[in-house]
Structure 1
Amino acid sequence: MLVLALDTATPYLVLGLPHAERAIRLERRHAEVLWQELEVFLKQAGVGLKELGGIAVGRGPGSYTGLRVGIAAGLGLARGLGIPVTGIDTLEAVALRYQGPVTVVHRTRNELCYTASYRIEGKQLEVLQPPKRARLGELQPGGLLVVDQPPSGLALARLGQAALQGGRVQVEPLYL
């Protein structure tokens, strides 16, 4: 199953397939460029829309508008193509860029952040601390501290494929 991943929960637009990924820092302009960038990405990856078997969307945590842009795009594309869609935790897809104990932090406004801690061994992910909202000054990270990095498009696609093959076709935004 060929799964297309897209995430707009962070300042990055992240697109992914099992063999290709792209992350572009857009701040709050996701809605302006998503479709154009998606078209270019698929063309460069040599994939046509009809080849897709599923869509994986980043479900956050992230900003309300950012999450809505990506989730709406994924749901609309999936419905138009008649393929399933699933939601993937954005912070997990960031953590999967690394190995060992990892604390992922995405800063928000007012000295707050979204954070979670994981242990990564190979491609296996163990959640040590689930996503939560916290004050930056109160963080006690374990292992590698990763701040404001984009999720991995490859990881999003891989996690999406596993979720869809396991029958998980739920997209619920993670608002904290």
Structure 2
Amino acid sequence: MRRYSGQTAVAIVAGDGTVVRQNRASRQLLGDRGGERCCDAMAALGGSGERPCHDGCAARLLEAGLDSPAAASVRREGQQHLLSCVPIGDNVICSLTPGGKAHPAPWQAITERELAVLELLAAGETTGSAARLLGLSTSTVRTHVEKLRLKLGASTQAAVVARGYQLGYLS
């Protein structure tokens, strides 16, 4: 089994169920799984626990929409992890968080405006459309997104949304 950094592993999965992108922690944990079926990639986790992974799961999640994310508790190498799969836009964001349930650290507290931006991103809005809906400039919304990326330790907007769910900012 591969050792990984213990950070949140994130994989972006297309509607057909193939892995299209992974962060470093995901590649360390699962290996480079680009182009493979997500359910096959998640089988590489080993360990025990029920997984929401099966043939067609990404398409079903996308069809069900944002109100029906999938999550499961997975035990691996003696540690509990939370596997969550959230449909966002045309993709499903799958993340594996060590510790089972993440809680925001004090420095990860977000402002009301950042929460509004996060909620719009989770609903599939772009920075431009979020700016129009909030009556802000696109530049201001980009600044809020950048602050969210820093606070939540995420490198992409999709990862920001996944972390938002993991930390309880989104439900």
Structure with more of its chain in helix, by fraction: 2
Q: Which structure carries more relative contact order (alpha carbon 8 Å, separation 6+)?
A: 1
Question: Would you call these one fold, judging by a TM-score over 0.5?
Answer: no
TM-score normalized with structure 1 length: 0.31
